[in-house]
Structure 1
Amino acid sequence: MLGAVDPLKDIEHYAQVMKAPRIRESAARLAEQARSDGWSHEDYLAAVLSREVTARESSGTQNRIRLAGFPTPKSLGKFNFDYQPSLSREMVAYPGTGVFSTQARNVVLLGPSGTGKTHLAIGLGIKAAQSGHRVAFAMAVDWVARLKAAHAGGKLPAELARLRQIGLILVDEVGYIPFEQDAANLFFQLVPSRYEHASLILTSNLPFGRWGDVFGDQAVDAAMIDRIVHHAEVLTLKGASYRLRNTGIDTLTSVRAGNAA
């Protein structure tokens, strides 16, 4: 209780009860500094609590990044803008703040394979996680498989509602594999369920004009794109594959880029 011979023991007890062990550590470490610098009680308490909040925020961010399912962590700071002249740091500045998730806006990254779409998508996802948003990453075919399983179990509306609670969903590689009609319809339902409620980041090797080839229905394709781009930043990446740089495989790169056009 207060007034004990060793108040730090009281603090340790209260910290354990509150499940805040860092308060105990900060209290002991800052006590001497508070005395020598003449801090008020309020200054000392604010300093101790500030360190607890900072540590919790850092821990929460790491958990959100871990649970997002990123294949590998990639930061915006490590993106090679010099290799991608079609994109500037200024063009990524707004999505890079993570604010777009708060505003339920979308980001679409279009371009040939190897131009950095997935790297940027993950980097933006990490920024969103650092801003406090729940994030989930998966390839387009994996999202469809998840929706198929929910639909088969009669739980699609519940699954869409659960996904809507995730502030940002990243859908990688839209267009690499065409969808069957049922799969396309399920994916279409994901988009309007999030419209103006939560954010999407999508990457695709195809321009919007070719998305009908993926979903097999021009009307569904047009309705989906309309909802996606209404509140969206659309970034188009160009050029050869970064992964194949310095390999001398220029012909293969050109063929792949031509097939994706």
Structure 2
Amino acid sequence: MNIKNRIASHCKYLRLNAIGEKIQSLADNASHEGISYLDFAARMLDVEIEHRQDREMLNKIRIARLPVNHDLKQYDCTAVEGMPVSRLEQLKELTWLDQNFSLVIMGPNGIGKTMLAAGLCYHAIEAGYRAYFRTMEDIMTILKTKGISKIAMTDYRRLCKAHFIVIDDIMMISIARNEANAFFHFINALHEKVSFVITTNKSPKEWVETIGDEVITTSILDRLLYRCEIIKLSGESYRLKNRKTIFGKAK
């Protein structure tokens, strides 16, 4: 067995996949640059660590269930009212998360509420926080099935240990009184431990119409709004403004 194959075999055994794939180029560069053995060893470990960090980040994003559009570099602050660049940059610093504040992002459909919430979730993951993105429907499914589904229970326990939870499109689906009660207990258990980011196209006063119980609605709002910044966005729907058509440019 030649030296290259021997190293590749050792790397496979030790699960040093990145080093095994790049050992030849690393060795060639080291020979060309004339670096020391210690520098060469450091470069190999750097490659492996970077590979593992990238893989870990991808896994966190997968578990977080971020939507495809979560890059805040693509968020157009000029297209909406209520989110100037300075405010967006301040939100991206996540100091509000460290202070255990929550956000309620309100506005009509199609103006980027979900993208904004998902982008902040992504920044939180990058910063090392346990952050997750779930729709209201996802949350209710978890609460209804965690007693009979291992997958739902695993997700529920994950959310209970979170630093940051996005609940997208809250109050978009009608829920029964017993379901509303379960949702209240979920919020009640986490409201002083987790920073929530809520997206909604309904004002808090309209939530009672979805829940159908004023007492439960008031209790939920009391906890969500205790340490909370309400961000009201307005503007034209991006989807309608950029509507696609098979017959040429849409009017």
For normalisation by structure 2, the TM-score amounts to 0.79
Asked if residue 143 in structure 1 is aligned to residue 139 in structure 2, the reply is yes
Q: Is the 8 A contact 1:160 1:193 kept in 2?
A: no
Equivalences, count: 241
1:76 and 2:64 matched = no
Aligned identity (percent) is: 27
Checking the alignment, whether the CA contact within 8 Å between 2:142 and 2:153 is kept in structure 1 is no
Using a 3 Å threshold, how does the CA distance of structure 1 residues 199 and 28 change in structure 2: closer, same or farther? farther
| TM-score of the two chains, using structure 1 as the length reference | 0.76
Per-residue deviation, 1:198: 3.3
SS in 2 for 1:171: strand
RMSD after superposition: 3.2
Distance 2:242 2:15 in 1: 53
Question: Contact conserved, 2:146 with 2:156, CA < 8 A, in 1?
Answer: no
Shift of 1:140: 1.0
Distance in structure 2 (CA, Å) of the matches to 1:157 and 1:176: 24
Separation in 1, partners of 2:75, 2:180: 32
* 2:118 maps to 1:122: yes
Q: Are residues 1:85 and 2:76 paired?
A: no
The alpha-carbon distance between structure 1 residues 42 and 145, as it changes in their structure 2 partners (threshold 3 A), is: same
Contact 2:65 2:132 in 1 (8 A): yes
* 3-state SS in 1 of match to 2:238: coil
| Offset at residue 55 of structure 1 (A) | 1.7
Residues 109-258 of structure 1 aligned to structure 2 (within 5 Å): 109-150=105-146, 160-245=156-241
- Output the CA distance in 1 between the equivalents of 2:49 and 2:227: 33
Q: Flag structure 1 segments of 5+ consecutive residues without an equivalent.
A: 248-261
- Report if the CA contact (8 A) 2:187-2:220 is conserved: yes
Distance in 2 between the 1:138 and 1:157 partners?
15
Query: For residue 173 of structure 1, what is the amino acid of its counterpart?
Result: D
Deviation at 1:47, TM superposition (A): 1.6
For 2:22 and 2:99, locate their aligned partners in 1 and report how far apart those are by CA, in whole Å.
36
| 1:47-105 alpha-carbon deviations (Å, 9 max, x no partner) | 21112121222222223223333453332111221111321122122433467666654
Query: 1:97 and 1:9, CA in 2 relative to 1: closer, same or farther beyond 3 A?
Result: farther
1:7-26, aligned counterparts within 5 Å?
A: 8-26=4-22
Q: Which residue of 1 aligns with 2:246?
A: none
